[in-house]
């Protein structure tokens, strides 16, 4: 360190920092970085050799405690032209103010060398200033300083050579003066010499030489961009290159008319942009599809023949289509304000919706956890229509409920059941249905301890009617006889056609045997009445066998078999009479 004897005592804090500051100054020296530390009163404390090499005017002058103003005066003494020297004190005052407030690094030129300077406050000490050579400027003084620093001047070209981007320098005639190796690679040039003296368009064309694969669309687009953009200095433009590469060209012109062009490889960026665009397009498409689907769904929901109700996990009715409102007579105002399922239920209860719903079904519908359990039931509405209600829980909570009007289906089912259990000619129940009723009646009678009677009726002398007047007349006779028997039997009695000209009556209850005989004779009498069919005056008779429960049997088959046997006994006894099973005697036609 080249120090003058100190005329002053540094502050205690500055004094204690001195060893560290000297070490720092020494260290920076070894990196070729000049430094000078000032105390809080802007007096020189520590500096290094590089500082003196960069600012040789201070050598042999600067000393510890020297005010920064003295330093500045020497600096300006060398820099200012003779005419400017009068304003030197102003420069010094400005310089001092800057020194105290500088926060950011700045560049300036001194003795032919471009320097980077930084000035930072040192708490409790003062301020440190450091300088580093930036770009050397040719000139004898600069060369001297650089040689004193032991630094070799760096050539502009060599600097650019290490840049990954392509660099192109053009002359005032817009022709290429110099390009770096990255430029040569980017545009597939044979070497950098080939580019010298050419216009950039030549390099661009060279890049595409023998590489056009898409009919030249990209190449032509690139040429057009080039023609448009080369005139605008500073506006970056993008050029497509073969093999899916792209370069972004950024131009800068110096006042002397030279052009400096950076060619940045943006292929990866473009690739990412394309992926992003494709993803955006796909997202837009799926959004459109989703929208279309939900519109379709909405339209379908509204047009459906089935009522649909969707309830959220929070028990709010989120969806109630038009058909559901119609089927259940739900007011639109109620459903539009997104009621809870409980509010809807309360409305329905108040309006008598569940008047025909069995209590156990209703309690299931009402159950709080009704949303979590799949269930279904058929609801007969106050207006007589039958609605099939089906509920299924949906994932994530809530429930989907459908309402189907099954009134017609129910009627059809009933018709089918009727056809299956009734005789088409007489509309009486058929043999199978009669046997079923007989079996259940036997069961009921057993549990209640009551009696009943089975009458088996075979028409006498029916065949000759068929033979003489034809089947159609025979049919009409059978239908008329059935009608007569139905009228004679009481409402609770069941009259059946067992097949051919055989009929049966289930008489329930029968407390006394005479009640059974009474009905049998009334039937016999009714059957025997003359009839007028298609202008024919006809008459038949009947043989009737009676089986009494429980005497003649405890089950349907036995009772029917025994009634049949009694009927045969009546037939054998000469027809037109009644036989009670096991009685063995013909009964008085008029017991009363
Ligand atoms: N028209 C018509 N005839 C039937 C039908 N089913 C059976 N028959 C006829 O009814 C007759 C029954 O025979 P029977 O009971 O032996 O005839 P019947 O003359 O009554 O004889 P008896 O009982 O001994 O007096 C047969 O001729 C059958 O063809 C039907 O649905 N319509």
Ligand 1 pocket check for 460: Cβ under 6 Å: yes
Atom nearest to 543 CA in ligand 1: 23
- The Cβ of residue 2 has, within 10 Å, a number of other Cβ atoms equal to 14
Relative to the CA of 477, which ligand 1 atom is closest?
1
Neighbours of 201 (CB within 10 A): 14
In terms of Cα–Cα distance, which of 315, 250, 240, 233 is closest to 271?
240
Among candidate residues 149, 173, 188, the one where a domain is terminated: 149
Atom of ligand 1 nearest to the CA of 502: 15
Question: Which ligand 1 atom sits closest to the C-alpha of 575?
Answer: 25
Alpha-carbon distance 232 to 256, whole Å? Answer: 17
CA distance 28 to 51: 10
Q: 472 CB under 6 A from ligand 1? A: no
Domain assignment present for 489: yes
CATH number of the domain at 111, please: 3.30.450
**Measured from the CB, is residue 576 less than 6 Å from ligand 1?**
no
Number of domains in the chain: 4
The 3-state DSSP class for residue 290 equals helix
CATH code for position 336 = 3.30.450.20
Integer Rg of the chain from CA: 59
Dihedral sign, Cα of residue 399, residue 404, residue 405, residue 411: negative
ipTM, 2 decimals?
A: 0.96
Range of the domain at 260: 156-265
- Pocket of ligand 1 contains residue 471 by CB under 6 Å: yes
Pocket perturbation via mutation, ligand 1, pick of 425, 500, 539 by most ligand atoms within 8 A of CB: 500
State the DSSP code for 357.
S
DSSP 100-166: HH--S-EEEEETTEEEEEEEEEETTTEEEEEEEEEEE--SHHHHHHHHHHT-PPPPHHHHHHT-SSE
Nearest CA, atom 7, ligand 1: 500
Residue 285 CA to residue 293 CA, distance in Å, equals 12
- Within a domain: residue 283? no
Measured between alpha carbons, how far is 315 from 114 in angstroms, rounded to an integer?
A: 78
Instruction: Please tell me whether residues 367 and 449 are part of one structural domain.
Output: no
Alpha carbon of 467 to ligand 1 centroid (Å): 10
Which residue owns the Cα nearest ligand 1 atom 5?
Answer: 500
| CA 386 to ligand 1 centroid distance, Å | 44
**Inside any domain, residue 97:** yes
Q: How far is CA 398 from CA 256, 310, 372, 391, 546, in A?
A: 78, 7, 7, 10, 62
How far, in Å, is the centroid of ligand 1 from the Cα of 523? 18
Please say whether the beta carbons of 258 and 170 come within 8 A: yes
Q: What residue owns the CA closest to ligand 1's atom 26?
A: 463
Cis ω on the peptide bond leading into residue 509 (within 30° of 0)?
yes
Residue 248: inside a domain: yes
Whether residues 252 and 308 share a domain: the answer is no
Q: Are residues 559 and 427 in the same domain?
A: yes
Identify the residue whose C-alpha is closest to ligand 1 atom 31.
500
The answer to whether 28 and 133 are in contact (CB under 8 A) is no
Q: Which residues pair with 132 in a beta bridge?
A: 116
Assess whether the C-beta atom of 458 lies below 6 angstroms from ligand 1: yes
- DSSP class of 304: -
- Of the three residues 134, 149, 164, the one that is the final residue of a domain is 149
Asked if 186 and 44 sit in the same domain, the reply is no
Assess whether the C-beta atom of 475 lies below 6 angstroms from ligand 1. yes
C-alpha 498 to ligand 1 mean position (Å):
12
> 501 C-alpha to center of ligand 1: Å?
5
**pLDDT by 10s per residue, the chain, length 592:** 444 555 678 889 899 999 999 999 999 988 889 999 999 999 999 999 999 998 888 988 899 899 999 988 888 887 788 888 888 888 889 888 888 887 777 777 787 777 888 888 898 999 999 998 865 454 566 666 666 766 554 455 556 776 788 999 998 888 999 999 889 999 999 888 899 999 999 999 999 998 888 788 999 999 999 988 876 666 789 999 998 899 999 888 777 788 888 999 999 999 999 999 999 999 999 999 999 988 888 888 888 889 999 999 898 999 999 999 999 999 999 999 999 988 999 999 999 999 988 888 888 777 655 667 788 889 999 999 999 999 898 888 888 999 999 999 999 999 999 999 999 999 999 999 999 999 999 999 999 999 999 999 999 999 999 999 999 999 999 999 999 999 999 888 999 999 999 999 999 999 899 999 999 999 999 999 999 999 999 999 999 999 999 999 999 999 999 999 999 999 999 999 999 997 444 444 443 3
The residue among 149, 173, 202 that closes a domain is: 149
Q: Among positive and negative, which fits the CA dihedral 513, 518, 519, 525?
A: positive
The residue whose C-alpha atom lies closest to atom 8 belonging to ligand 1 is 500
- Any alpha helices (H) in 304-401, and if so which ranges? 322-328, 332-336, 341-350, 359-366
Q: Does the Cβ of 463 fall within 6 Å of ligand 1?
A: yes
CB-ligand 1 contact for 219 (6 Å cutoff): no
Q: Is 462 in the pocket of ligand 1 (CB under 6 A)?
A: yes
Residue 205, ligand 1, Cβ within 6 A: no
Tell which residue, 264, 244, 240, 260, has the closest CA to residue 182: 264
Query: How many A from CA of 433 to the centre of ligand 1?
Result: 22
Residues 166 and 208 in one domain: yes
Check whether residue 144 and residue 170 sit in a common domain: no
Residues 141 and 22 grouped into a single domain: yes
Task: Please give the structure tokens belonging to residue 348.
Answer: 């329905």
* Nearest one of 498, 488, 473 to 520, comparing CA atoms: 488
CB distance 465 to ligand 1 below 6 Å: no
202 and 137 in a common domain: no
Distance of alpha carbon 544 from its chain centroid, rounded? 77
Same domain, 564 and 432: yes
Q: Residue 94 and residue 412: Cα distance in Å, rounded? A: 108
356 plus 466 within the same structural domain: no
Quick one: 170 and 135 in the same domain?
no
Q: For residue 7, is it within any domain? A: no
Ligand 1 pocket member 474 (CB < 6 A): yes
Q: Is residue 293 part of a domain?
A: no
State the Cα–Cα distance between residues 572 and 426, nearest whole angstrom. 27
In a domain, 3, yes or no: no
Give the closest residue (by CA) to ligand 1 atom 22: 460
Ligand 1 atom nearest the C-alpha of 463 is 19
Of all residues in the chain, what percent are helix, strand and coil, respectively (each to 5)?
45, 25, 30
Tokens 């001195």: give the residue: 18
Is residue 4 included in any domain, yes or no?
no
Residue 375 shares a structural domain with residue 503: no
């Amino acid at each position: 360190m080249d120090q003058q004897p100190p005329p002053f005592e540094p502050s205690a804090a500055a004094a204690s920092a001195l060893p560290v500051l000297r070490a720092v100054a020494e260290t920076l020296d070894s990196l070729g970085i000049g430094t000078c530390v000032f105390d809080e009163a802007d007096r020189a404390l520590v500096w290094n050799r590089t500082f003196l090499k960069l600012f040789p005017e201070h050598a042999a002058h600067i000393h510890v405690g020297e005010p920064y103003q003295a330093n500045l005066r020497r600096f300006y003494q060398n820099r200012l032209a003779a005419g400017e020297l009068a304003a030197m004190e102003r420069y010094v005052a400005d310089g001092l103010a800057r020194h105290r407030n500088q926060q950011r690094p700045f560049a300036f030129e001194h003795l032919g060398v471009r320097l980077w300077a930084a000035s930072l406050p040192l708490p409790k000490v003062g301020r440190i200033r450091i300088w580093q050579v930036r770009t050397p400027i040719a000139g004898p003084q600069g060369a001297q300083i650089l040689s004193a620093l032991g630094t070799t001047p760096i050539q502009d070209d060599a600097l650019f050579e290490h840049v990954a981007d392509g660099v192109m320098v053009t002359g005032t005639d817009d022709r290429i003066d110099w390009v770096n190796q990255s430029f040569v690679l980017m545009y597939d040039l044979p070497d950098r010499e080939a580019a010298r003296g050419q216009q950039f368009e030549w390099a661009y064309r060279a890049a595409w030489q023998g590489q056009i694969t898409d009919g030249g669309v990209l190449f032509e687009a690139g040429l057009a961009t080039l023609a448009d953009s080369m005139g605008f200095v500073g506006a970056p433009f993008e050029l497509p290159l073969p093999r899916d590469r792209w370069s972004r060209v950024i131009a800068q012109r110096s006042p002397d008319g030279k052009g400096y062009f950076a060619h940045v490889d943006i292929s990866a960026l473009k690739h990412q942009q394309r992926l992003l665009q494709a993803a955006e397009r796909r997202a837009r498409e799926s959004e459109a599809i989703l929208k279309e689907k939900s519109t379709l769904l909405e339209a379908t929901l509204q047009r459906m023949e089935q009522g649909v109700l969707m309830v959220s996990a929070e028990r709010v009715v989120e969806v109630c289509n038009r058909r559901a409102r119609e089927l259940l007579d739900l007011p639109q105002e109620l459903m539009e304000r997104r009621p809870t399922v409980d509010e809807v239920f309360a409305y329905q209860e108040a309006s008598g919706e569940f008047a025909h719903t069995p209590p156990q079904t209703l309690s299931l519908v009402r159950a709080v956890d009704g949303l979590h359990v799949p269930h279904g039931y058929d609801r007969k509405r106050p207006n007589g229509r039958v609605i099939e209600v089906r509920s299924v829980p949906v994932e994530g909570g809530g429930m989907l409920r459908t309402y189907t009007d099954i009134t017609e289906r129910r009627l059809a089912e009933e018709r089918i059941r009727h056809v299956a259990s009734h005789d088409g000619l007489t509309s009486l129940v058929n043999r199978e249905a009669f046997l079923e009723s007989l079996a259940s009646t036997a069961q009921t009678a057993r549990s209640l301890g009551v009696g009943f009677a089975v009458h088996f009726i075979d028409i006498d002398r029916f065949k000759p009617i068929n033979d003489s007047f034809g089947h159609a007349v025979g049919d009409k006779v059978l239908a008329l006889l059935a009608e007569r028997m139905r009228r004679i039997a009481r409402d609770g009695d069941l009259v059946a056609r067992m097949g051919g000209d055989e009929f049966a009556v289930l008489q329930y209850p029968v407390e006394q045997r005479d009640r059974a005989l009474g009905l049998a004779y009334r039937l016999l009498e009714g059957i025997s009445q003359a009839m007028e069919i298609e202008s024919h005056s006809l008459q038949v008779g009947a043989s009737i066998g009676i089986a009494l429960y429980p005497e003649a049997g405890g089950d349907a088959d036995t009772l029917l078999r025994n009634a049949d046997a009694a009927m045969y006994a009546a037939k054998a006894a000469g027809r037109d009479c009644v036989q009670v099973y096991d009685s063995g005697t013909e009964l008085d036609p008029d017991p009363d």
